[in-house]
Amino acid sequence: MPDDWKNRREMTQDEVAAQARALGVREGGVLLLHTSYRAARPVAGGPAGLIAALRDALGPQGTLAVPCWTGDGDAPFDPETTPAAEDLGVVPETLRRLPGARRSAHPFAFAAIGPRADEIVNTPMLFPAHAPGSPVAKVHDLGGQVLLAGCGHDANTSLHLAELIGGAPYRIRHHVTVMDAGAPRRIEFDENDSCCALFARADGWLRAAGLQREGLIGHAPSRLFDAQGAVRLAAQQVRRDPLIFLHPAEAGCAECDLARASLG
């Protein structure tokens, strides 16, 4: 990644909190964050400073959640010690280590901090991982918002919930490993999955409906929207076209082709 970020002014935590409030982050609410700290930096205090700024905007009654799953399906998952997947960036691993943070026991874990943290992360071992009853669904059910800071809708886990609600039929085989009675146990399951690049279509749907606000968090171009509004619109689109998030067969997308192949 280019080093141009080194020439940026360091944002204070107060400034980032003010950005979040101006964007529309609700005090006392639930906020699901997907972020690239590289896009947001530099922020005073680093990734922990970014978290602190968002928590300041949320206030003491607000709850901040992040995806925090493992990147290794073969190693037994331990919510206390297993690092978050590297492709999630540094913020989830930072948040899960904070005093008072909670992390779900499911290998497709989320971490949260704030008054609703236990409610969000204490969920059953569900497969597919983002089904109703999962942490991402809990954020939705609690009327939470989603903040994409420095990333697009391809990172938006709420759209996996929308796929399931809308009836997307494709599945890709995955596996995780958990500890069961002191021994590792492999669990294979079918997940609604694809390359997720066409999740970018949600930008148009949300903008047309006036449901997405855009601005900066730190130096990162960011999107903020209500989880319920995004899931509702996306599920409607999936009902109209169940394969709307898959590249056409002629596009040569290996992941989408794998999803198509699951249809038989």
pLDDT band at 3 (very low <50, low <70, confident <90, very high): low
d(CA 219, CA 214): 13
**Mean pLDDT of all residues in the chain?**
96
Digit-coded pLDDT (tens) for 25-77: 999 999 999 999 999 999 999 999 999 999 999 999 999 999 999 999 999 99
Distances (CA, A) of 2 to 5, 6, 23, 38, 184: 8, 9, 27, 10, 41
Q: Parse the chain into domains and list their residue ranges.
A: 3-261
* Helix 13-23, helix 46-58: angle, nearest 10: 50
Segment 183-196 mean pLDDT: 96
Digit-coded pLDDT (tens) for 124-144: 889 999 999 999 999 999 999
Structure tokens that stand for 43 in this block: 């922020």
Percent of the chain with pLDDT over 90: 95
d(CA 31, CA 112): 9
pTM exceeds 0.85:
yes
